[in-house]
Structure 1
């Protein structure tokens, strides 16, 4: 059995966090992305949590499914001393973005955008 390596585990979590955040930002469920890349939603969850390591071939499929390059998933890795974590505020922003993308009406999206802009002006 291979020995655990903390740095490798941090890399796995770093890449998994990026997949998770990007999947949510694109408004995809875990099941939807899992089907596209040919794994179960449980396996995708293990990738996102960094529990299971992602092969290069599988990462290529994930990158294509999420319209990113392979480099995207490694970008910023060299600057990390610890694993990246999302704050509650970041998670809320991702959730708002995900829900916004589900709104089919461009008029409704424009109204929501105008509301957010007016709220920003009030708080400034």
Structure 2
């Protein structure tokens, strides 16, 4: 084996898996939607914010027990971390998680990543009265065009 082969193999072995990157981006998305800092998430999991950063970038793999802990702290089903996975990584492009319910049609890929969406979701969850929050939700649904 030549020195070039060793360097190429080492670089490939240290490159994050696309699945780990996707799962990490979903952790970051949900944490951001909740308005939670990396420090707060780390505290809840017994980790440093640097470890959370590595998970979110996909540099460190998230094991099954840690994924379970993340789903509890971030209040999402485990499947949320795999939603919107591209078909070439084994994902089902028709399955989406909207934050309110899982649907088959879902949103466009970039909708959840827009600043407007994040601000809207944060404002929605700051409404402390559940009946008011439900009325706001119903109002928004009534203003949207029917499908």
Q: TM-score, normalised by structure 1?
A: 0.64
Q: Does 1:96 align with 2:103?
A: no
Which residue of the other structure, out of 26, 29, 52, is the alignment partner of 1:44? 52
Once the 2 structures are TM-superposed, how far is the Cα of residue 6 of structure 1 from its aligned partner? 8.7
Supply the distance in 2 between the matched residues of 1:118 and 1:71 (Cα, whole angstroms): 28
The higher relative CO (CA closer than 8 Å, separation ≥ 6) is in: 1
Question: What is the CA deviation profile of residues 102-121 of structure 1, one whole-angstrom value per residue up to 9, with x for unaligned ones?
Answer: 21123542442344234225
> Who is 1:29 aligned against?
36
CA-atom RMSD, angstroms?
3.6
Describe the superposition over 1:7-30 as per-residue Cα deviations: whole angstroms up to 9, x where unpaired: 8520111111222233344x2503
Q: CA deviation at 1:49?
A: 2.0
| Residues 90-109 of structure 1, C-alpha deviations (whole Å, 9 max, x = no match) | 22434422331121123542
| Partners of 2:118 and 2:59 in 1: CA distance | 22
Unaligned runs of 5+ in 2: 1-6, 94-108
In 2: Cα distance, 1:10 partner to 1:108 partner: 41
**Which structure 1 segments of 5+ residues have no match?**
none
Matched with 1:120 is 144
Contact 2:16–2:58 (CA<8 Å) still a contact in 1? no
Q: Write 1 or 2 for the structure with the bigger share of helix.
A: 1
Which one has the largest radius of gyration?
2
| 1:62 corresponding residue in structure 2 | 70
Q: 1:67-111: CA deviations, max 9, x gaps?
A: 45656545675x6326x9x51x22243442233112112354244
Flag the 1:99–1:32 CA change in 2: closer, same or farther, 3 A.
farther
